[in-house]
């Protein structure tokens, strides 16, 4: 199969487009959630904080199928959250692109949160003391000191989260399914292509994912310098 044929084949292009939509949305959501979590948790100690941070990081070490199962139980049609979502939006979240985005966000969040935490904790505390003396509020210190000085860590977190989201397979397959044109991402499409012996598609998608991952890893290493 020629490259020109692949580039005009909707069956080939669709998983790429869906993967980009899901991974970009998941990266943005994980960034927002990581910022909110760090803003709420940083500089504070309370009973259960260690447990809460462990829960945030758990999707990074849990098998993706377990994450997908937890999402399915939590947001399934018969769950409380699932019934609320169905009542508000007149359709369940499972087996939709929003389910794929939710699954990818959950597995990308630990990488984003950890990158932000490491970058922000390296900022000298003396800067915050000076800002406090000048009467700066916590939000102002966060936007004027924390975010600018942790820019490299934020960019690293974005790259790692995007790479994790675009490669997500297990949780997405269980929670969002593999519906062509709706929830079929490149990882699930590769799995189906190999099963059906459509190796031209599989090789092409694998090449795209390897290339994207390699570029993002190089960019991450450059940022660390």
- Return averaged pLDDT per consecutive 10 residues of the chain, 225 residues in all: 72 94 96 88 76 91 93 91 90 93 95 89 80 77 80 89 93 93 94 92 94 90 76
> How many residues are recorded in the chain?
225
What pLDDT shows up at residue 3? 63
- Provide the pLDDT for residue 196: 93
Measured at the alpha carbon of residue 145, what is the angle toward residues 129 and 130, in degrees to the nearest 5? 20
Q: What share of the chain is helix, strand, coil (3-state, %, to 5)?
A: 80, 0, 20
Q: C-alpha 97: how far from its chain's center?
A: 14
pLDDT at 137: 76
Class of residue 14 by CB neighbours under 10 A (exposed 0-12, middle 13-18, buried 19+): middle
Report in angstroms the alpha-carbon separations of 193 from 4, 180, 181: 19, 12, 15
Computed from CA positions of residues 58, 89, 20, 37, in that sequence, does the dihedral angle turn out positive or negative?
A: negative
CA distance linking residue 169 with residue 104, whole number of Å: 9
Euclidean distance between CA atoms 11 and 30, whole angstroms: 29
What domains appear along the chain, each with residue ranges and CATH number?
3-62+95-224 (1.10.3720.10)
**Could you give the CA distance from residue 187 to residue 170 in angstroms, rounded to a whole number?**
9
**The pLDDT value given to residue 101:** 96
The helix (H) or strand (E) run that includes residue 117 is helix 97-121
8 Å CB contact between 60 and 115: no
DSSP states of 127-155: HHHHHHHTT--HHHHIIIIIHHHTHHHHH
Half-sphere exposure of 169 (CA within 13 A, CB side): 10
């Amino acid at each position: 199969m020629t490259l020109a044929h692949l580039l005009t084949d909707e069956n080939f292009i669709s998983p790429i487009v869906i993967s980009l939509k899901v991974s970009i949305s998941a990266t943005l959501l994980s960034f927002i959630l990581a910022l909110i979590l760090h803003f709420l948790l940083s500089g504070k100690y309370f009973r259960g904080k260690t447990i809460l941070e462990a829960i945030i990081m758990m999707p990074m070490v849990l098998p993706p199928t377990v994450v997908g199962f937890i999402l399915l139980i939590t947001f399934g049609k018969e769950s409380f959250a699932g019934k609320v979502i169905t009542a508000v939006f007149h359709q369940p979240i499972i087996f939709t692109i929003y389910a794929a985005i939710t699954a990818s966000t959950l597995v990308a969040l630990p990488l984003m949160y950890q990158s932000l935490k490491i970058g922000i904790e390296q900022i000298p505390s003396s800067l915050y003391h000076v800002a406090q003396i000048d009467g700066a509020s916590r939000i102002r210190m966060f936007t004027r000191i924390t975010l600018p000085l942790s820019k490299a860590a934020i960019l690293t977190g974005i790259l790692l989260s995007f790479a994790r989201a675009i490669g997500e397979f297990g949780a997405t397959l269980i929670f969002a399914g593999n519906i062509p044109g709706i929830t079929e991402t490149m990882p699930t499409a590769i799995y189906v292509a190999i099963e059906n012996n459509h190796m031209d598609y599989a090789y092409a998608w694998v090449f795209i994912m390897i290339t994207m991952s390699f570029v993002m890893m190089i960019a991450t290493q450059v940022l660390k310098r």
